[in-house]
Structure 1
Amino acid sequence: MPNSLNPLQAVADRWQPSARFVRRASFACVVMAVIIVVTGGAVRLTQSGLGCPTWPTCTEDSLTPTPAMGVNGIIEFTNRMLTYVLCVVVGIAIIAARARSPRRRDLTRLGWAQFWIVASNGIIGGITVLTGLNPYIVAAHFLAATALLTVAVIMWQRSGEGDDAPRDLVARPVRQLSWVLVVSTVLLIVAGTVVTGSGQHAGDASKDVHRIPLDFREITQLHVDLVFIVLGLTVALWFALRAVKAPGGPRRRVVELFAVLMLQGVVGYVQYFNDSPEIVVGAHMFGSCLVWIAVLRAFLSLRDRGEPVTLPSPATEPEPAALAAAER
Structure 2
Amino acid sequence: MTRADVAQAARNPLAYIAERWTPTERTVQRAVLASLVMTCVIVVTGGAVRLTGSGLGCPTWPKCTDESLTATSEMGFHGVIEFGNRMLTYVLCAVIGWAIIAVRSQKPWRRSLTRYGWAQFWLVMGNSVLGGIVVLVGLNPYTVAAHFLLSSALIAVATAMWQRTREGDADPRPLVGKAVAQLVWVLTGVTVLLIAIGTVVTGAGPHAGDSSDVPRMNVGAVGLDWEGVTKLHAVLAWIVVTLTFALWFVLKAVDAPRGPLARTRDLFLILLLQGGIGYVQYFTDLPEVLVAAHMLGSCLVWIGVLRVVLSLRERPQPKAEMPTQVDDSQLSSV
TM-score, reference length from structure 2:
0.92
Shift of 1:2: 6.1
Describe the shift of the 1:141–1:4 C-alpha distance in structure 2 as closer, same or farther (beyond 3 A).
Answer: closer
Please give the per-residue CA displacement for 1:121-156, whole angstroms capped at 9, x wherever unaligned: 000000000000000000000011111111000000
- CA contact under 8 A between 1:101 and 1:311: conserved in structure 2? no
**C-alpha contact 1:139 1:193 (8 A) present in aligned 2:** yes
The reply to whether residue 168 of structure 1 matches residue 174 of structure 2 is: yes
Q: Which residue of 2 aligns with 1:267?
A: 277
Letter in 2 for 1:55: W
- Kept in 1, the 8 Å contact 2:204–2:216? The answer is no
Contact 1:30 1:152 in 2 (8 A): yes
The equivalences for 1:277-296 within 5 A come to: 277-296=287-306
Shift in Å at residue 309 of structure 1?
6.6
Q: Deviations over 1:64-103 (max 9, x none)?
A: 1111111000000000000000000000100111110111
- 1:157 paired residue number: 163
Contact 2:58 2:82 in 1 (8 A): yes
Q: Is the 8 A contact 2:205 2:216 kept in 1?
A: no
Alignment-derived partner of residue 227 in structure 2: 217
The answer to whether the Cα contact below 8 Å between 1:161 and 1:308 also exists between their aligned partners in 2 is no
Deviations 1:266-302 (A, max 9, x none): 0000010011111110000011111111111111111
- The answer to whether 1:113 aligns with 2:123 is no
Partners in 2 of 1:228 and 1:263 — Cα distance?
Answer: 13
How much does 1:308 deviate?
A: 5.6
- The aligned counterpart of 1:229 is 239
The structure 1 segments of at least 4 consecutive aligned residues displaced by more than 6 Å after TM superposition are 309-312, 324-327
Q: How does 1:181-192 map to 2 (within 5 A)?
A: 181-192=187-198
Cα distance in 2 for residues equivalent to 1:134 and 1:224 = 24
Q: Any gaps of 5 or more consecutive residues in structure 1?
A: 318-323
- How far off its partner does 1:211 sit? 3.5
In the aligned structure 1, how far is the partner of 2:225 from the partner of 2:58? 30
Within the candidate set 57, 74, 77, 2:80 is matched to 74
Aligned residue number for residue 15 of structure 1 = 21
Letter in 1 for 2:278: G
* Residue from 190, 202, 216 that aligns with 1:196: 202
Is residue 255 from structure 1 mapped to residue 265 from structure 2 by the alignment? yes
Q: Are 1:48 and 1:75, in contact at CA under 8 Å, matched by a contact in 2?
A: yes
TM-score for both structures, normalised by structure 1: 0.93
Distance 2:276 2:233 in 1: 14
Seq. identity, %: 59
> How far apart, in 2, do the equivalents of 1:258 and 1:174 lie?
17
What SS does structure 2 have at the residue aligned with 1:52?
coil
Distance 1:96 1:244 in 2: 39
Residues 150-178 of structure 1: CA distance to partner in whole angstroms, max 9, x if unpaired?
A: 10000000000001101110011001111
Q: Offset of 1:17 from its aligned partner?
A: 0.7
**Which residue number corresponds to residue 321 of structure 1?**
none
Q: Any conservation in 2 of the 1:162–1:309 contact (CA below 8 Å)?
A: no
Mapped pair 1:276 → 2:282: no
Deviations 1:165-216 (CA, angstroms, capped at 9, x unpaired): 0111001100111111111100000010000000000000111444343110
State the shift of 1:311 in Å: 9.5
Between the aligned partners of 2:207 and 2:333, the Cα distance in structure 1 is 75
Unaligned runs of 5+ in 2: 1-6, 324-329
Name the count of aligned residue pairs: 319
Q: What is the alpha-carbon root mean square deviation over aligned residues?
A: 2.1
Give how far 1:326 is off: 10
